[in-house]
Amino acid sequence: MIEKIVYENKKITCITVKWGADFSELLGVLKNFIDDNNTEHLLLDFRLFSFDTIMRSNIRDLYEYATSRANVNSRVNGKTAFVCSNGLQVEIGKIFKTYSEMIASPIKISAFRSMEEAFSWLEEG
């Protein structure tokens, strides 16, 4: 199950991914984020999601989404925060951050263990 909340006053879209979520469903929600995006920042809350069934191709698909021209063009000064509950999730977030730096993406990415830290980082100037 995936829940999406838009905080227009903070320019943040929060997508919470829960245990029952299917990876293709997640990718669809992320792709729709580009089409109906009216916020600069994205918070992906993975605290209630298990990456046990994630495959390498799924990670590649997420990379391709995260670095797509449409995503970059709609979020020139955007940030994406991953909120994680375990070490594997944090490491996947760090991989995304490193990859975005390698390709010089204008979208900043970071991983956090709490919603408060993530919101604080997203709201920074």
Which domain does 76 fall in, by range?
2-123
Least Cα distance to 100 among 124, 82, 86, 118 occurs for 82
Helix 56-66 vs helix 87-102: angle between axes, to the nearest 10 degrees?
50
Q: Alpha-carbon torsion 123, 98, 1, 77, what sign?
A: positive
Whether the predicted model's global pTM rises above the 0.85 cut: no
C-beta of residue 31 within 8 angstroms of C-beta of residue 74: no
For every one of its 125 residues, what pLDDT tens digit does the chain have, with 9 covering 90 and above? 888 888 888 889 898 988 766 777 877 887 777 667 678 888 999 898 876 666 667 777 776 666 665 566 667 778 889 999 888 888 888 888 888 788 787 888 899 999 999 999 999 86
**CATH (domain of 62):** 3.30.750.24
- The number of folded domains in the chain is 1
